[in-house]
Amino acid sequence: MVVSHIDEVKAVKMQIPGAEKAWKKVCISLEQGWDGYVMRVFELEPGGKTPLHTHTWPHINYFLQGEGTLFLNGKENNVKEGSFSYVPSNATHQMINRGDTVFRFICIVPEEGEA
């Protein structure tokens, strides 16, 4: 069991090619007792983005703060606080901060997505 606050989770700068001004916080995983899944919070600074990429696992997102664009299989989707999405396995996708504040969202993946 875990009860915590996002401010207590260490942010790790994303170092993968194509990521810019992007940070990740792993909130709940096997380490906290959640077998099979991982909940992360991503923060994209103004002008920040994740790389355009694909992978074999799905994920769900819930957008907490700011506004941005989710590119999903060639379609541009505007998202903001309160929006949510499901990104299927093998879908090409990318997140981009389109605002002037931090764009923050939850991303839940199967544990192989956090390997």
pTM of the model: 0.94
Query: For every one of its 115 residues, what pLDDT tens digit does the chain have, with 9 covering 90 and above?
Result: 889 999 999 999 999 999 999 999 999 999 898 999 999 999 999 999 999 999 999 999 999 999 999 999 999 999 999 999 999 999 999 999 999 999 999 999 999 999 7
Q: Which DSSP string corresponds to 41-74?
A: EEEEEEEEEPPPB--SS-EEEEEEESEEEEEETT
Q: How many CB atoms lie within 10 A of CB 104?
A: 19
| pLDDT for the residue 1 | 81
| pLDDT for the residue 64 | 98
Q: Going from the N-terminus, what domains does the chain have, and what CATH number goes with each?
A: 8-97 (2.60.120.10)
